[in-house]
C-alpha cells in the first residue's frame, strides 16, 4: 500500500507525521491479527506437570494468547481470570449424554461459563472431541453430540452470550472418505447421517467447525507415497496440482479437502478452526526433535496466509500440546509437547514472529488422523 502526503512545508522526501502514524497503525494492526491466530492446547494427562498458575504464567511469558482445554477444570478457569487469554473450553465426551437434558446443560453453563464471565475470555465451547459413529470407542456417543450442542447453545443464548461465545464440536479427519485431489474431498457415506445435521446446525448459528489435523499421522501411515518435505512444509516446489491450484504441503491439502467436503454437505459457508495440530519428537517413526521443530515453526508462519482454496485468510490454529504428557498411550502420544514438564522449551518457537512465508499445499493421501486428548 502506498500512502502519500502533500502537507505544505514538509519535504517531499520525508513522510509526514500523519503518514508515519498511519503506517504504524497498519503495521501494528497487521501484527496483532496474525499473532492472535495461533494458540496452544493445554493437555493435563501427566503426573509431573507444573502447577496451573505457573502454566498460565508460561503462556503469557511465551506470548501465547489462545488456549484449548478439554474439560472445565476449575483451577485452570480460576487461574485464567484477568489473563486475557482466549479459550476453547471443552465439554468432555463423558458429559455428552447428561447434557442432552436442557436443565443439565443450563447448570453446566452456569457453573463453568457464567461463573467466570467476563474475567475469562471464552471463545468457543467444543462439545465433544473426535466423536465418530463408525469408531467403536465413540460410536455410542454420536447420538448425544447434536442434542448436547443445541442445549449448550440455548443456555449460552439465554445468558445473552451467543455473540461472544460460539458452540461447536471437534472432529478428526477419519470422517473424510476421499481427500484426493482436495477439490474432490467428501465425507464418508456412513457418517453423513451423523455429520450433516451438525453442519446444518453450525451454519444456522454461524459457528465454525473445529477440526484436529495431523499431517504427521498421514505421513507416518504412508511414507512410500508421501514425502517428508511435503509433510513438513519444506518442499521447494509444487508436489500436487489440482486444476489451477498447486500444493506444496499436506496441511493445506488436508484442510482444502475438508472445505470441499463441507461444500458437498451444504456447509460451504462454514469456517474451519484447526483445533489441534502437532508433530511428536519421539516414540515412533519420523517422530524426531528436528521434524517436530520444523513442522511447528513452519506451521506457525504458514497459517497466516491461508490455503490455495481460501487464500489470504488466516487459519485459526491450536498447536498440540503445551507439555509432554507421560500418562498418555501409545508411546508416541507422550511426546507432542512444545515444552518439557519442567517448563524448559523443547523448541525455540516464536509466537510473535512478524515474518510471513508464502507456502501453499496439497496431496494424494488417505487421511489418517488418530490424535485425541480425550
Written as nine digits, the cell of 150 is 443445541
Q: How confident is the model at residue 37 (pLDDT cuts 50, 70, 90)?
A: confident
Written as nine digits, the cell of 341 is 514438564
Give the pLDDT score at 351: 87
Tens of pLDDT along 242-269?
A: 999 999 999 999 999 999 999 999 999 9
pLDDT over 70 at 79, yes or no: yes
- CA nearest neighbour of 179 among 253, 113, 118: 253
Cα 126 from Cα 202, distance rounded (Å) = 12
Give the pLDDT score at 352: 74
CA atoms within 13 A on the CB side of 299: 29
Is 333 an annotated catalytic residue?
Answer: no
Give the pLDDT score at 234: 98
Is 263 an annotated catalytic residue?
Answer: no
User: What is the mean pLDDT of the segment spanning 100-110?
Assistant: 98
**Fold category of 34-352 in CATH:** TIM Barrel (3.20.20)
Q: How confident is the model at residue 17 (pLDDT cuts 50, 70, 90)?
A: very low
Tens of pLDDT along 280-296?
A: 999 999 999 999 999 99
pLDDT over 50 at 35, yes or no: no
Task: Say which residue, 21 or 232, is predicted with more confidence.
Answer: 232
pLDDT over 50 at 13, yes or no: no
Q: How confident is the model at residue 363 (pLDDT cuts 50, 70, 90)?
A: very low
Kindly name the residue from 78, 86, 130, 354 that is annotated as catalytic. 130
Give the pLDDT score at 12: 35
> What percentage of the chain has pLDDT greater than the value 90?
83
User: What is the mean pLDDT of the segment spanning 350-362?
Assistant: 48
Tens of pLDDT along 84-101?
A: 999 999 999 999 999 999
Task: Say which residue, 33 or 320, is predicted with more confidence.
Answer: 320
Tens of pLDDT along 60-69?
A: 999 999 999 9
pLDDT over 90 at 333, yes or no: yes
Quick count: other Cβ atoms within 10 Å of Cβ 109? 27
pLDDT over 90 at 329, yes or no: yes
Kindly name the residue from 276, 316, 325, 362 that is annotated as catalytic. 276
Q: How confident is the model at residue 11 (pLDDT cuts 50, 70, 90)?
A: very low
Give the pLDDT score at 374: 38
Buried b (16+ CB within 10 A) or exposed e, 261-284: bbbebebeebebbbbbbbbbbeee
Give the pLDDT score at 15: 41
Amino acid at each position: 500500500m502506498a500512502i502519500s502526503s502533500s502537507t505544505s512545508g514538509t519535504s517531499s522526501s520525508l513522510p509526514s507525521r500523519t503518514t508515519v502514524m498511519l503506517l504504524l497503525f497498519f503495521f501494528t494492526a497487521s501484527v496483532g491479527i496474525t499473532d492472535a491466530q495461533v494458540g496452544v492446547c493445554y493437555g493435563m494427562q501427566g503426573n509431573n506437570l507444573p502447577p496451573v498458575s505457573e502454566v498460565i504464567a508460561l503462556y503469557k511469558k511465551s506470548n501465547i494468547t489462545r488456549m484449548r482445554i478439554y474439560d472445565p477444570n476449575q483451577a485452570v478457569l480460576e487461574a485464567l481470570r484477568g489473563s486475557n487469554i482466549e479459550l476453547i473450553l471443552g465439554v468432555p465426551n463423558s458429559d455428552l449424554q447428561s447434557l442432552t437434558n436442557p436443565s443439565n446443560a443450563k447448570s453446566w453453563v452456569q457453573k463453568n461459563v457464567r461463573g467466570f464471565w467476563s474475567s475469562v475470555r471464552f471463545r468457543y465451547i467444543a462439545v465433544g472431541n473426535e466423536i465418530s459413529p463408525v469408531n467403536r470407542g465413540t460410536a455410542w456417543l454420536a447420538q448425544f453430540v447434536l442434542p448436547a450442542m443445541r442445549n449448550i447453545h440455548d443456555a449460552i443464548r439465554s445468558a445473552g452470550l451467543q455473540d461472544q461465545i460460539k458452540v461447536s464440536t471437534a472432529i478428526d479427519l477419519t470422517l473424510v472418505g476421499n481427500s484426493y485431489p482436495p477439490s474432490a474431498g467428501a465425507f464418508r457415506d456412513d457418517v453423513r447421517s451423523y455429520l450433516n445435521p451438525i453442519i446444518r446446525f453450525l451454519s444456522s448459528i454461524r459457528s465454525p467447525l473445529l477440526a484436529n489435523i495431523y499431517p504427521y499421522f498421514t505421513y507416518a501411515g504412508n511414507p512410500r507415497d508421501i514425502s517428508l518435505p511435503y509433510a513438513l512444509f519444506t518442499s521447494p516446489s509444487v508436489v500436487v496440482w489440482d486444476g489451477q491450484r498447486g500444493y506444496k504441503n499436506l496441511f493445506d491439502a488436508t484442510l482444502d479437502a475438508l472445505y470441499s467436503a463441507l461444500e458437498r454437505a451444504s456447509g460451504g459457508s462454514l469456517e474451519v478452526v484447526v483445533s489441534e495440530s502437532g508433530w511428536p519428537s519421539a516414540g515412533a517413526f519420523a517422530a524426531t526433535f528436528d521434524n517436530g521443530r520444523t513442522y511447528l515453526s513452519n506451521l506457525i508462519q504458514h497459517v497466516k496466509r491461508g490455503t490455495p482454496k481460501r487464500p489470504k485468510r488466516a487459519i485459526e490454529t491450536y498447536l498440540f500440546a503445551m507439555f509432554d504428557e507421560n500418562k498418555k498411550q501409545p508411546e508416541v502420544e507422550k511426546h507432542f509437547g512444545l515444552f518439557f514438564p519442567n517448563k524448559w522449551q523443547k523448541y525455540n518457537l516464536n509466537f510473535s514472529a512478524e515474518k510471513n512465508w508464502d507456502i501453499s499445499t496439497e496431496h494424494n493421501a488417505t487421511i489418517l488422523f488418530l490424535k485425541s486428548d480425550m
